[in-house]
A and B are shown apart, each in its own frame.
Chain A
Amino acid sequence: MNELRALLVTAQPEVERVFSAVLESTNDTLFVAQEMSAAVLAAGAEQPALVFIDLTLPAATGLALVHHVLATHPKASIVALATQQGLVTAAEAISLGATGLLLLPPDGDAVLRAIGEVRARRNAEESIARLTLERGALFDQAEAMTRAVSVARGGNDREIAEALVALFVLASGARGAAFFGAESSTGTRQRLAAFGSGYELRDTYPDAELGQVASARSAQLHVFGPVSRPLGCALIERATATASDRTASAVAFAAALLMISARAAASIPPAPESQVVPEEQFARVLERTIEDGKPGLLVAMVPTPNGRVDLAKLPLKDEGALCGQRPDGSAWIVLPGRAPSDVPPLLLSIGTRGVGVAAFPSDGQRAAKLLSLAEARAREAARSPFYDLTNPGVSVGALAQALLRSASLESRVSSLFPLELSMTSLESLLAHTARITQRASRATPLSITVASADADHLAKATNAAFDAERSKVRVSNVASLPECEGVEAIVVSSPLASWALVGRWDKERLRAVHTCDPSTCAALAARILAAIGPGK
């Protein structure tokens, strides 16, 4: 139980005797003043938490004292002592701010209760203050944690480290902290971030010297995190004054918390550590794999509009694969012992969008060449969902089939949208599309490229739909070409707007897809025109 320091201001020895006896029994400290000036001095010198003021002091000095104590020691609790006849004065004291009233002559039990109430109130206030402080600290930590996770999701290693160091300083009460990267090939650790006072650190330190720096500064050196990540170790200079009550376990807890947040973040995939190779070491790992002379595949993945590569979702361990990832989200996977014809489940789970594959040794036996080849193919595949569009080896007929297979509503206007139409509806659609494309293009030249079983009929309907004089319309019938057989393809394009439709007739209905994605339209038009051949 906390000791209370109480001040009694009274000129009555009998009152003083009762209070002395009670406070002695509760092991609290009592100071006594018998008149105004002594009370003022005692209140300033002893800083009592509880002040009993006898309102029967001469010349109404009791009320003046209540006013003075409240003004100069606002945290002190005041209990007024009044007689039955002086209750009016007592009411005035309470209106000034006194928190309690005891009737004179005092009863020991009443004094005890008054002290108990004050003690309970003070304990509650202290608890509230402590909880408020703790809540503030927790809010600060939560904010810093949110920032760290947010940075970790989209930031590079250095940004992550800076955010985590800031959180570290906050969570541990350290005066300063520095993060050093993983051991590099030269056996040194690189400083990623430093915060706090008194740090004039070099950019790199050999491991041993870093330990010496820590001891010279009486700092703690924590090593944590996977060795393949740059969160290699942290140098923490502890606070000596303001946060001296923080313990080493708090620092360790903060470190663990940081690692949990970092692991949870998307940019640190929780894939098995042995399967993930640092970016700078991946080329070397690939070279060693190629040196074996066995065949294998190198898969490059680049971020697509649908999102970043998520290594955590890939069955890397099952395939014996090793992977590396760049901060921009692109990644490589090397699959030793796999032939191009042997499509592993891993590739099936990745899909084809934004994915390029190079095979060794058939595509080369140098790591740099394989990496650039696979990455170029991945970037090509990421350009459009219809990567076959740019592959000259695919006929327009096969292309139409592929587009029909991949037709899906992705809730994006540039996605492929499936359609099923009759010939009448197709004519109407083409005519309207030509018209609104022309309108959207503000009378700039309009090009219509058609591969159709009935291109002449479509061309007639289209020409009737808009003012041909204001446009340069080209309708090309490539339906007779073998590679366009059975295909219905229409591309309406102008410098400002474009639209493409491709499909196949199924009895009286046209099963087709259409899009306004400019790159898809341009690629499709180029493929149809290439089928016509130059000069035709």
Chain B
Amino acid sequence: MSSSDQIRGLLAEIRGHDPTTSRFVVVVCGAPARIATFSRACLRLASFRPPPEETPAVPVPHAVALMPLGDALELYVYALPLVPAYAPLWPLTLSTAHVVVRIDQSASRLLDEACAISGKSALAATTLLPTFTEDDEDLVGALVNAAVEAAIR
């Protein structure tokens, strides 16, 4: 079973976790270069679609991919490039997140503080998936699946 199928299989549990939401948001934080690689790998997965909005010209938090789960629910993957100059915008994105994953230790203090303000805590990608690398779409899909599972269980 592919990661996408596994995620879709979690629909009932996601609904149980947050019955009112129309978006289940996974925020992935990392250095801009790794986030760019992650975004490309994400869009290589067949079930992921690019978001309607354009990628911003500045390294601010933005949507990288979405996946319709059915039942009027979409899975959104947001990227949060860890560029300290844009830290004031992080809490705005983190506050909408159902789960936050960090793929490296860039700007870790600022991210921790933004998470604290938003009442979230960032999970390490290597904790969720020890073999994770951002250039392998299968592992990216597996990471998103693991993150969703971590959020709802």
A429 CB-CB contact with B under 8 Å: yes
Give residues 56-111 of B contacting A (CB, 8 Å): 56-58, 60-62, 84-93, 95-96, 109-110
A413 x B110 contact (CB < 8 A): yes
A432 x B62 contact (CB < 8 A): yes
Contact with A along B36-67 (1 / 0, CB 8 A): 00000000000000000100111011100000
B113 CB-CB contact with A under 8 Å: yes
Name 26 interchain pairs, CB-CB below 8 A, sorted by A: A409-B85, A411-B109, A411-B113, A412-B110, A413-B110, A413-B114, A414-B117, A417-B84, A417-B88, A419-B86, A424-B57, A425-B57, A429-B58, A432-B60, A432-B89, A433-B60, A433-B89, A435-B53, A436-B61, A439-B96, A440-B91, A496-B95, A499-B89, A499-B92, A514-B88, A517-B88
Residues of B contacting A: mostly? helix
A interface residue numbers (CB < 8 A to B): 409, 411-414, 417-419, 421, 424-425, 428-429, 431-433, 435-437, 439-440, 465, 496-497, 499, 514-517
Contact of A419 among B56, B85, B113 (CB under 8 A): B85
Chain A neighbourhood of B93, CB < 8 A: 436, 439-440
Contact of B85 among A418, A431, A497, A516 (CB under 8 A): A418
Separation of A531 and B67 alpha carbons in the complex (Å): 46
A413 x B58 contact (CB < 8 A): no
B71 shortest CB reach to chain A, Å: 20
Separation of A499 and B114 alpha carbons in the complex (Å): 14
Chain B neighbourhood of A515, CB < 8 A: 88
Chain A neighbourhood of B58, CB < 8 A: 421, 425, 428-429, 432
A428 x B89 contact (CB < 8 A): no
B94 shortest CB reach to chain A, Å: 9
Residues of A contacting B: mostly? mixed
B interface residue numbers (CB < 8 A to A): 53, 56-58, 60-62, 84-93, 95-96, 109-110, 113-114, 117
A431 shortest CB reach to chain B, Å: 8
B88 x A499 contact (CB < 8 A): yes
Separation of A432 and B78 alpha carbons in the complex (Å): 13
Contact of B56 among A411, A429, A437, A440 (CB under 8 A): A429
Closest chain B residue, CB of each to CB of A422: B57
B22 shortest CB reach to chain A, Å: 11
B17 shortest CB reach to chain A, Å: 17
B110 x A497 contact (CB < 8 A): no
Chain B neighbourhood of A435, CB < 8 A: 53
Closest chain B residue, CB of each to CB of A421: B58
A497 x B91 contact (CB < 8 A): yes
Once A433-B60, A497-B91 are accepted as A-B contacts, the answer to whether A417 and B117 lie under 8 Å apart by CB is no
Chain B neighbourhood of A439, CB < 8 A: 92-93, 96
| Given A413-B113, A428-B57, A433-B60, 14 additional A-B pairs, CB 8 A | A411-B113, A413-B88, A413-B91, A414-B88, A417-B87, A428-B58, A429-B60, A432-B53, A432-B62, A436-B92, A437-B92, A439-B96, A499-B92, A516-B89
Closest chain B residue, CB of each to CB of A427: B57
Separation of A131 and B110 alpha carbons in the complex (Å): 49
Once A413-B113, A413-B114, A436-B61 are accepted as A-B contacts, the answer to whether A497 and B53 lie under 8 Å apart by CB is no
B60 x A440 contact (CB < 8 A): no
Once A432-B62, A440-B96 are accepted as A-B contacts, the answer to whether A409 and B89 lie under 8 Å apart by CB is no
A489 shortest CB reach to chain B, Å: 15
Separation of A514 and B88 alpha carbons in the complex (Å): 7
In this complex, the member of B58, B90, B114 whose beta carbon has the largest number of chain A beta carbons within 10 angstroms is: B58
A19 shortest CB reach to chain B, Å: 73
